[in-house]
Structure 1
Amino acid sequence: MKKITFCCCLLFSLIFLSFKKDPTAVTQTEVVVKTPFEMPAIKIPDFSKCKEFSIIDFGAIKGNKEKTSEAISKAIAKANKAGGGIVVIPEGEWLTRKIHFKSNVNLHLKKGAVLLFSEDPNDYLPAVRSTWEGYECYNYSPLIYAYQCKNIAITGEGELKAKMDVWKEWFARPKPHMESLKRLYYLASYNKPMKERQMVNDSAHFRPQFIQFNRCENILIDGVTITNSPFWTIHPFLSKDVVLRNLKVYAHGHNNDGVDPEMSQNVLIENCVFDQGDDAIAIKSGSNQDAWRLNTPSKNIVMRNCVVKNGHQLVAIGSELSGGIENVFIDNCTVVDGAKLNHLLFIKTNERRGGYVKNIYMSNITSGKIDEGILGIETDVLYQWRDLVPTIERRLTPIKNVYLENIKATNVKFVSRILGQKELPIENIFLANVNADKVSGEKSIHENVVNFVAKN
């Protein structure tokens, strides 16, 4: 009997220990954001009690791409196995290939550290499950990639930098590239399986995103500088609970948006500086049939206390918005005088998109000269797609409940240009104290708008 009792006690002790929380594992903290809509607290990882893993201890050597890449991969695996860990990039320049995250890992760049990403496309193979302009496909791996991960972070005072020697040559869109675009459009339009959507070949030249979090949760990027990008710079895709703060983002190539939350929810972007060749923030939710299948809106997205030095728009919504976009709050941001900018807020869609846009709030914005105007809403934006491929299924986009308050620019062509469709007018646009020192054209240009109210 005593032997049985002892065995039972030992068994229960082992079970208890197996469930006991590791005091050095990653934990979570909550970020509460005050918004005009109901928004849950954002849960992000806390690595303050986690062990550090320097890449030097895993064989990293400055200037040696192979050794450094291998060391980063080993350190990430070790941190993941420990239940939470900090992979440390020390001071100096470290040449690397792609980086693939695992759960419960913080990639931490010390002050003076530079992770320099190779310009060789072969360093981003084999192809991974990714996206191109709203369509899912297999493409070159993003330079930093996470797939179905939880509790991941990039922190520190260092720099992530992309070598652009090859990517800048791929900015052009010659006929072979456009033919690959057409092929992906038809594959997605007829819901072909992912295994058929292999977009890496000699001529497609679909550039990878710099950072993509694909189907991930509990994400933090804090403090780092990001320089150059082959394509979109930071791309949370089908992800939840994302905080991007204290970042300096500079990328002046083609399609170099700063942040592209796509079909993602509970996102906070704060205290960042954006100097972009495209939109500072571009909120998206997929294209056409692909997004209708995934049926996931971008929702609860906040941008606050940011500075924009250049960009096409302070915030763009669309044109890839087929999954729907709702509950967006842009507050207390500045566009510096002399910046190259088209709009502060630009909502764009077309007859192929469907989806919806609602509950968009922008307040307390100051800007210098804007090439176009403060608010733009257009429903016939097709870019290169207009003559490239036909409309396979026509779905219009309902747009309603847009609120702008306390916004000031120095010089614009118009304050608002809203071009709705007769079949589906745009509804409920409210402007309060939205002004420019000089308006060179017609102040309000409106077609098919119901319930537009402007007050000073």
Structure 2
Amino acid sequence: MKTTFLYPLLLFSLLLFSFKKDKSKVSVNELNVEAPFEMPAIKVPDFSKCKKMPITDFGAVQGDKNKTSKAIAKAIDKANKAGGGVVVIPEGEWLTGKIHLKSNVNLHLNKGAVLLFSEKPEDYLPAVFTTWEGMECYNYSPLVYAFKCKNVAITGEGTLKAKLDVWKVWYARPKAHLEGLKKLYHQAAQYKPVEERQMVQNDYNFRPQFIQFNRCENVLLEGVSISNSPFWVIHPYLSINVVIRNVNVYAHGHNNDGVDPEMSQNMLIENCTFDQGDDAIAVKSGRNQDAWRLNTPSKNIVIRNCTVKNGHQLLAIGSELSGGIENLFMDNCTVVDGAKLNHLVFIKTNERRGGYVKNIYVTNIKSGKIDQGILGIETNVLYQWKDLVPTYERKLTPIKDVFLTNVEATNVKFISRVLGQQELPVENIVLDNVTAATVQDQNHIHQNLLNFASRN
């Protein structure tokens, strides 16, 4: 009787074990990163035991945008339902529309694979919950979009490339676009529901980001190259545990920042190369009322071993920083000689932003000629917004505790230029062995700065 009872139980246990063993799941590893502040371990998804799912098994055909788009979507759906899977893009060029990732999915591009994204705006409809320069809205889908995903990755040695036929025309920001900007600004300032902020209309021409991880957790972007972009290239937004490594970015269009971490935390960006039409790395945390509502700082971000070939700044902080930015560490980065760059580090804000900046550490940076200087801090940067829209609520930005160590450039106008505000001076800026072979203007140009130290 006892043996008869145990045998079915044992058989059931063996079958259950076999089922669990065969069903591939995403595992999560912890990555410890050194920083001059308390840095939490970053959780990184591991797809090494997950089943590979080539898009050709789902009907993808080179040169056929519709079939390839549908095949990618089917493969992503199957990988998600399986609890983990690697959607494989084989060698060759694959024309596609938008790609919407799901949890527990790794989009993997084999060596020689090119995902070529359509230039037609209608391929990025219906509108999705996204952002435009720090304000939430409904707009064209990012070319690759992940919304509320957990354990998601884009990996491989292939290339993601955007066709710019239409987007490059939209770079111009005509009158209709400026009207759309004004409308969105007023809606956000008045706390209108995001669902009412519909920007795919009236020729507003709000270009989408290339890759956006929106409210995601445990994100890996590794190995791929990214070429061209309608707007910001890589945009982790309200996301936590993000690793971006060994990525090559080439994008010289308008607003083509390389990476824009925004209201995101626990991030590592390493071993990447940026060749940009705008800032290489621009850390942000939302704009004005929207960011005050969301109340989430960008925090615990480490950037190391990166190379910049062109860009406006190596590291920009702001101007969308209304949620606050703290605990940022950049180490061992290089700007190649001949690159066109305005600053190595540029912190920018204005009287509408609020937020704060603190605990910024930049060490071991080498650069050639810089058009402006090594460190710039400006508190009245409004660009076209100065006359475009009014100030709803005035909030200044406290900026303090910025440390640069072992930074060198060949030719600059200044070492540091800090333009604080009389009623809220910038505080505690320390430069340790920050030098340039040639300084065209003055070493230090300062207004409203308390506690400055420079030692060589």
Asked if these proteins are the same fold (TM beyond 0.5), I'd say yes
Structure 1 position 162 matched with structure 2 position 162: yes
Partner of 1:227: 227
Q: How does 1:322-333 map to 2 (within 5 A)?
A: 322-333=322-333
Which residue does the alignment assign to 1:239? 239
Q: Is the 8 A contact 1:209 1:231 kept in 2?
A: yes
- Which residue of the partner structure matches residue 267 of structure 2? 267
The question of whether the paired residues in 2 share the 8 Å contact of 1:23 and 1:49 is answered with no
Structure-2 separation of matches of 1:21 and 1:274: 41
CA-CA distance at 1:36 after TM superposition: 0.2
* 8 A Cα contact 1:345 1:375, kept in partner: yes
Residue pairs, 1:203-214, within 5 angstroms: 203-214=203-214
TM-score for the superposition, normalised by structure 2:
0.97
**2:142, 2:153 → 1: CA distance?**
16
Q: For each residue in 1:227-263, what CA deviation from the matched residue of structure 2 results, as whole angstroms up to 9, or x when unmatched?
A: 0000000000000000000011000000000000000
Q: 2:177 — aligned with what?
A: 177
1:69-84 maps to which residues of 2 (within 5 A)?
Answer: 69-84=69-84
C-alpha distance in 1 between matches for 2:283 and 2:14: 49
Matches within 5 A, 1:202-351: 202-351=202-351
Counterpart AA for 2:316: A
- Root mean square deviation of aligned Cα: 2.0
Is 1:420 the counterpart of 2:413 in the alignment?
no
Task: Report if aligned partners of 2:364, 2:407 keep a CA contact under 8 Å in 1.
Answer: yes
Q: Write the distance in 2 (CA, Å) between the matches of 1:19 and 1:321.
A: 48
Does 2:144 match 1:144?
yes
Q: Distance in 2 between matches of 1:341 and 1:26?
A: 41
Opposite residue 73 of structure 1, the aligned amino acid is A
Q: Which residue of 2 is the match for residue 401 of structure 1?
A: 401
**Counterpart contact for 1:232–1:260, Cα < 8 Å:** yes
Structure 1 pair 202–17 and aligned structure 2 pair: CA distance change class (3 A): farther
Distance (Å, rounded) in 2 between the aligned partners of 1:222 and 1:177:
34
SS in 2 for 1:309: strand
Moved more, 71-80 or 14-23: 14-23
Deviation, 1:285, is: 0.2
2:199 is aligned to 199
Q: Which whole-Å CA distance do the structure 2 matches of 1:256 and 1:55 have between them?
A: 29
2 CA distance for matches of 1:357 and 1:282? Answer: 13
Give yes or no for the alignment of 1:354 onto 2:349. Answer: no
Residue 161 of structure 1 aligns with an amino acid whose one-letter code is K
CA-CA distance at 1:312 after TM superposition = 0.2
Which secondary structure does the structure 2 equivalent of 1:212 belong to? strand
Q: Which deviations, in whole Å up to 9, do the C-alpha atoms of 1:170-206 show, x marking residues without a partner? A: 0011111111101000100010001110000141000
Residues 49 and 16 of structure 1: CA distance in aligned 2, closer, same or farther (over 3 Å): closer
SS at match of 1:337: coil
What is the CA–CA distance in structure 2 between the aligned matches of 1:215 and 1:20, rounded to whole Å?
A: 29
SS of the residue corresponding to residue 38 of structure 1 reads coil
1:21 Cα deviation (Å)? 7.4
More deviation, 170-179/427-436: 170-179
Instruction: Single out whichever of 23-32 and 431-440 deviates more from structure 2.
Output: 23-32
Q: Deviations over 1:22-80 (max 9, x none)?
A: 66211011111100000111101100000000000100000000000000000001111
**Equivalence for 2:61:** 61
Between the aligned partners of 1:261 and 1:415, the Cα distance in structure 2 is 26
- CA distance in 2 between partners of 1:360 and 1:290 (Å): 24
Distance 1:321 1:21, change over 3 A: farther
Tell me the CA shift for residue 17 of structure 1: 7.1
- Does 2:26 match 1:26? yes
Secondary structure at the aligned position of 1:57 is classed as helix
Which residue of structure 1 lines up, in the alignment, with residue 386 of structure 2? 386
SS of the residue 1:182 aligns to: helix
1:46-125 equivalence runs, <5 A: 46-125=46-125
Structure 2 regions of 5+ residues with no counterpart?
none
| Residue in structure 2 matched with residue 430 of structure 1 by the alignment | 430
Corresponding letter in the other structure for 1:149? C
Post-superposition offset of 1:16:
7.6
The CA deviation string for residues 123-144 of structure 1, in whole angstroms up to 9 with x for no partner, is: 0000000000000000000000
How far apart, in 1, do the equivalents of 2:19 and 2:135 lie?
41
The residue identity in structure 2 corresponding to 1:133 is: E
Q: Tell me, in whole angstroms, the C-alpha distance in 1 between the residues paired with 2:200 and 2:276.
A: 26
CA distance in 1, matches of 2:391, 2:300: 30
Cα distance, 1:13 vs structure 2: 6.4
In the alignment, what sits opposite 1:442? 442
Number of residue pairs matched?
A: 455
* Aligned 8 A contact 2:283 2:298 in 1: yes
Give me the whole-angstrom Cα distance separating, in 2, the residues matched to 1:208 and 1:14.
50
| Residue 451 (structure 1) aligns with | 451
Deviation at 1:9, TM superposition (A): 6.4
Q: Partner residue of 2:187? A: 187
Q: Is the 8 A contact 1:239 1:263 kept in 2?
A: yes
Q: Within 2, Cα distance between the matches of 1:97 and 1:216?
A: 22
- SS at the partner of 1:145? strand
